[in-house]
Amino acid sequence: MYLVFTTNYFPWLTIIVVFPIAAGSLILFLPHKGNKVIRGYTIYICILELLLTTYAFCYHFQLDDPLIQLAEDYKWINFFDFYWRLGIDGLSLGPILLTGFITTLATLAAWPVTRNSRLFHFLMLAMYSGQIGLFSSRDLLLFFIMWELELIPVYLLLSVWGGKKRLYSATKFILYTAGGSIFLLIGVLGIGLYGSNEPTLNLETLANQSYPGALEIIFYIGFLIAFAVKSPIIPLHTWLADTHGEAHYSTCMLLAGILLKMGAYGLVRINMELLPHAHSIFSPWLMIVGTIQIIYAASTSPGQRNLKKRIAYSSVSHMGFILIGIGSITDTGLNGAILQIISHGFISAALFFLAGTSYDRIRLAYLDEMGGLAIPIPKIFTIFSILSMASLALPGMSGFVAELIVFFGIITSKKYFLMPKILITFVMAIGMILTPIYSLSMSRQMFYGYKLFNTPNSYFFDSGPRELFILISILLPVIGIGIYPDFVLSLSVDKVEAILSNFFYR
């Protein structure tokens, strides 16, 4: 293995990708019983990584340029011409910053974890590297390697630090995601080996390559299955509720905040950019599945007794809006989908954190056993209520803007006739009516009534400074994006226009 530098720039992205896992491996040399040292070290690494990423993007990234920036291209394995290709554009900028933000807060949320603390924090940092590596990959095989790098950390985080059914949910997670990865690998190899005289996995080269119609559809279906598992898209979503129901809440923050977004990102980055003709064929089906998903998950959610499973089904419902935005093939719809990716990352991570901190206090996971929590823990009640409103798309919050832009995307789409557009908009509106039902009933069951309030010794500590800091850190961007969505849209708007003008409007 050797590196050949083909760029004159400082390797910002390589440092950003490698730093967390490299620094994480040093945790193994820290003292065995030094939990405070390990936690402090991990948080310090996360903050340093986030500052490094922010600095690199602020001073070395041009927002008005839709082309790949900070590009790095090093030869890695000479035997089969494998390159370490990294680069970012407006599409990957938001998810990378979201990853840094949520991972730092999830590490702070994991403060109570004391069992096998070194392994736990190393796995979180390994996930950090894999996620940033995936969002900045410009080589299909490297994309696949980073995609797979997630599996082992999540499996271990689930099976070691999960609830009573942790082994069942961890096994289900690995079977689903490894099954999806097989389709991804077949698609990567097929698309790389086809066409040109020399096999290539460079995303820029592949974006300008055309394929026979039938072959493009086969590639598209392979990638779609892989991304459908991760997103998750029904009917490949059943692992999600079990995984969230059993995982520690800091793991849930990473899963809901970042892991699900990798599937949506793959749909845009590979299915839309590399296979535009197949995407225009499949986009009506994506719209239909997205619409069904919104209604199905919003209808199923009230039947979930477990608090974290109810929030998990709300995630499935909100991912439907992302599918519809991607399927609309309009600038507005795709920008709305990208905004929903960022917005839902913040809101879902905060809700899972609140669910976990509530469980830490009352040791109850089922909603019908709860009640009357508003009086003993008013701070948690207040922030939970605000974030429930954000989840049901209250105006002034990020979810409202994202869903509204997706609506405009469908209405302005030139691809669809008027009647299908009216029908999809109508069904989406029904989904948005169902969302307050499960969201507000969840708050009512937890916080109102008299169950816990009447029991003796029902005094709980309310949120401490650490928990309040995490919640306010998430709440500020949710309100900030709701009031000024251009903050996120300005990152991706030029890239979205470039994707659609290059492939769909020509």
pLDDT tens sequence across 138-184? 888 888 998 988 888 888 888 888 778 888 888 888 888 888 888 99
Is the pLDDT higher at 231 or at 365?
Answer: 231
Q: What percent of the chain has pLDDT over 90?
A: 3
Is the pLDDT higher at 29 or at 324?
Answer: 324
Q: Which of 315, 296, 313, 302 is nearest to 445 (CA)?
A: 302
The four Cα atoms 493, 53, 319, 302 give a dihedral, to 10 degrees, of: -140
Angstrom distances, CA of residue 108 to CA of 23, 113, 150, 237, 479: 17, 10, 20, 29, 22
pLDDT tens digits along 47-82: 999 999 888 888 888 877 777 788 888 877 777 678
Is the pLDDT higher at 89 or at 200?
Answer: 89
Is the pLDDT higher at 212 or at 348?
Answer: 348
Which residue(s) pair with 365 in the sheet? none
Residue 196 has what pLDDT?
Answer: 60
Lowest mean per-residue pLDDT among 6-10, 335-339, 413-417: 6-10
The residue type found at 234 is I
Contacts of 242 (CB under 8 A, 6+ apart): 165, 168, 169, 172, 173, 309
Cβ contact 388:443 at 8 Å: yes
* Mean pLDDT for the stretch of residues 70-96: 82
In the structure, what pLDDT confidence band is assigned to residue 394 with cuts at 50, 70 and 90? confident
**Using CA atoms, how far apart are residues 166 and 242, in angstroms rounded to an integer?**
9
* Mean pLDDT for the stretch of residues 458-486: 83
* Mean pLDDT for the stretch of residues 438-454: 75
Average pLDDT along the chain: 83
Residue 4 has pLDDT above 60, yes or no: no
* Mean pLDDT for the stretch of residues 201-210: 78
Residue 33 has what pLDDT?
Answer: 67
* Mean pLDDT for the stretch of residues 197-205: 76
Is the pLDDT higher at 425 or at 265?
Answer: 265
The alpha-carbon radius of gyration of the chain (Å, integer) is 22
Residue 2 has pLDDT above 60, yes or no: no
CA–centroid distance for 397 within its chain: 19
Predicted structure pTM score? 0.88
Residue 34 has pLDDT above 70, yes or no: no
Residue 48 has what pLDDT?
Answer: 92
* Mean pLDDT for the stretch of residues 336-343: 90
Residue 455 has what pLDDT?
Answer: 53
pLDDT tens digits along 285-302: 888 888 888 888 888 888
* Mean pLDDT for the stretch of residues 418-431: 82
